[in-house]
Structure 1
């Protein structure tokens, strides 16, 4: 019993230290967070699911305790920056806190290698999850290929028939 309690106390002490070092260099898709103003010392990285579909990217970002007014999204070229402020709820008049979370910022950047359509990005916050739909720009148009001869496509071109020494008939354009 004492051993488990001691281990638990050390684990509780490790969490803030580990969180500090894990979040010092926020990475997303291998890119470092560079454009955010680091005046806010208390920040962390929200848990995020990133899905890539044929026509779009879908992001699901966990933002517990964040209201719609406290979420800010910025897009520059193919770099999406999300900053959200989480403020703890106030129950001071009804209860005494055993542990109280400080207000903090949740920050995440996403860089997309494929061009995206910026003016069609949609975002909604539902029960602490921010859903962002980012449509991809169509890079190339697929051209269907059909079976046929060049005669169909070149109306002014006439073909002539000639006989080669082997005795076979050959068509030359």
Structure 2
């Protein structure tokens, strides 16, 4: 059964001035994925990673090429504005291990480092989390990265976690 709000919802003015967020009122239905009709012909991608199995896969150099990111060998590409920062959100046991990030960084010739971690640290890595970290750092290696971790998956709790931070 799909339940949706039939009309816009609102808060009375006296209450609204004290509320910064309303969450988990609507849930979206599961979408049925479209069927792929044709995958087309294979593409030969540049491969700058030394790891086995990277050939013709999406690697940091492929992303840089496709999105026309600055050449990392140029000095201007390494100059990050001091006020820039970026973050990823990770949930439900999806944490990271430094040794995994170091291995990716060595293989793909990228600096993959985490400047700050917010939330409880887990003793193990998670594929989803590590991919998020590796690829955001692959395209912006000089910008400090914060990993915000929450053991539960609730966007409302995560939004509250972010909004309660002194410097989000």
Bin of the TM-score, shorter chain as denominator length: under 0.3
Where is the helix percentage greater, Structure 1 or Structure 2?
2
TM-score for the superposition, normalised by structure 1: 0.24
Where is the strand percentage greater, Structure 1 or Structure 2?
1
Rg (Cα) greater in structure: 1
